[in-house]
Copies of this chain bind each other. A is one copy, B any other.
Amino acid sequence: MQDRLIPILKVLGMVIALFGLTMLFPLVISEAMADAARHAHDEAVLATIGSGVFLWLLTRHNKRELRSRDGFLLVVLIWTVLPIFAALPLLIYLPDLSFTDAYFETMSGLTTTGATVLSGLDNLPASINIWRAQLHLLGGLGVIVLVVAVLPLLGVGGRQMYKAETPGPMKDTKLTPRMEETAKGLWVVYLFFTLLCFIAFWLGGMGWVDAVVHAFSVMGLGGFSSHDASFGHFNSPLLEGIAVVFALIAGMNFATHFLAFRQRSFHPYRVDPELRWYLFIVLGSCLGLALFLWYQDVYVDFLTALRYASFNTISVATTMGLANADFNAWPYFAGLWMLFLCSFSTSAGSTGGGIKMMRAILLYKQVYRELVHLLHPNANLLTRLGGVPVTNKITYAVLAYLFIYIASIVVLSFVLIASGLDVFTAFSAVVATINNTGPGLNQVGPATTYAVLTDFQTWVCSFSMLLGRLELFTLLVVLTPAFWRK
């Protein structure tokens, strides 16, 4: 066991130290603005880099290579340990904040969920809000590596399909220089769009701090804001337009963006098998919900209904989670529909959450095949995705994924309900966290925060975010006894 843990801890030490380096960004901002959180950042940076280096020093003599099975534990450790260090600036600056809440907040940041327990955001120092949003940026980078390089290797939940399916950079992904290259290529695209989003917000009239916070928040499909009123604070159709365009971009497969950049062509978008469904379903729902809200007299003119329906629907469906209206006050059909969308709309290889459009399409095709099969029992039907036949192995993995996904929602909802939360809050909190969306309905709606939850309920939601972000299996495998056997 020790043999197995040491090489993992060595990598973990390096990751922690690197993570500590990224904390220099809010530190510099804090110093430059001379805000009240300077000491918090100072101490956090020292503690984080120090811990990482110390862990590395302890384990540096190990020469054993990581095996693919170690990947599960490493990923889980990274995603559970980093939130502890990420929470340090919050804990030091806000002495009344409990560890439970701080861990929830930073787990929410790194998983790009964006559910918050903090209020009075408008009065927090810029450096603290930027640190919160920066967790989305880093979480987004982490997810891209995870999805592109780590999960296909580990074979989680049908991820194998991307090897065969996605053209170009994602083909035969191995933990080799090739994979590093792929990840770097996608990172460049991601950071380029983040920069573009920042400039657009800034030109659109945001202050630079708000522009940084919301650019990170939008491109990571995170959802933290520097304002209690979330995006409603700006009350600007222009800024809302910018936000939804970049949210839609962030919900697409970054490999597709990467190819489009390299080929300087729109062709990759046209052949992306998820893209057309994603846009059709999300934009169709915007129009449908606009008509619904107008018909229900929530908004008296259609254009206003369209504005609010579009922003919030795209925001929730892409799992971004910023809000410009309290959609919890709309007829429940609207909020539930939006939560339904967030469970499957975003593309694989995006920073979004949920089961991903790819899996939804595969499931749909399998079911359709089954119906045709009933009518033509002797026909030999093959399911294809993007022209490539889908193997049994992938279908089974996706089936298992769907089953675990639904079972997780059921079990976690029951746990929250049994702990005394009302049914609607419990269910929507689980859906909003497991899909890494952020705001739920009822007590955890967009106008409120997750601070209403008890400590126990908060931990359940932290677990739910992690479970969703690690595509269920990565975490569950580590929790099986079989994993810990020799």
Q: Which A residues have a C-beta under 8 Å from some C-beta of B? A: 69, 72, 154-156, 292, 332-333, 336-337, 340, 363-364, 366-367, 369-375, 377, 392, 395-397, 399-400, 402-404, 406, 410, 414, 417-418, 422-424, 473, 476-477, 480, 482-483
Instruction: Please tell me if the beta carbons of A363 and B418 are within 8 angstroms of each other in the complex.
Output: no
How far does the alpha carbon of A340 sit from the alpha carbon of B409 in the complex, in Å?
12
CB distance from A435 to the nearest CB of B (A): 15
Instruction: Please tell me if the beta carbons of A375 and B69 are within 8 angstroms of each other in the complex.
Output: yes
| CB contact under 8 A between A403 and B366, given known A333-B418, A423-B336, A483-B375 | yes
| CB contact under 8 A between A400 and B366, given known A375-B69, A375-B483 | yes
| CB contact under 8 A between A399 and B406, given known A336-B423, A374-B477, A414-B333 | no
Quick one: which of B373, B392, B397, B418 contacts A392, CB cutoff 8 A?
Answer: B392
Beta-carbon nearest neighbor of A411 in chain B: B340
Instruction: Please tell me if the beta carbons of A374 and B410 are within 8 angstroms of each other in the complex.
Output: no
Residues of B contacting A414 with CB < 8 Å? 333, 336-337, 340
Instruction: Please tell me if the beta carbons of A363 and B473 are within 8 angstroms of each other in the complex.
Output: no
Instruction: Please tell me if the beta carbons of A375 and B477 are within 8 angstroms of each other in the complex.
Output: yes
Residues of B contacting A373 with CB < 8 Å? 155
Instruction: Please tell me if the beta carbons of A374 and B417 are within 8 angstroms of each other in the complex.
Output: no
Instruction: Please tell me if the beta carbons of B402 and A402 are within 8 angstroms of each other in the complex.
Output: yes
Residues of B contacting A392 with CB < 8 Å? 392
How far does the alpha carbon of A310 sit from the alpha carbon of B42 in the complex, in Å?
60
Residues of B contacting A480 with CB < 8 Å? 371, 375
How far does the alpha carbon of A374 sit from the alpha carbon of B414 in the complex, in Å?
28
Instruction: Please tell me if the beta carbons of B371 and A476 are within 8 angstroms of each other in the complex.
Output: yes
CB distance from A245 to the nearest CB of B (A): 28
How far does the alpha carbon of A292 sit from the alpha carbon of B340 in the complex, in Å?
31
Instruction: Please tell me if the beta carbons of B333 and A374 are within 8 angstroms of each other in the complex.
Output: no
Beta-carbon nearest neighbor of A398 in chain B: B399
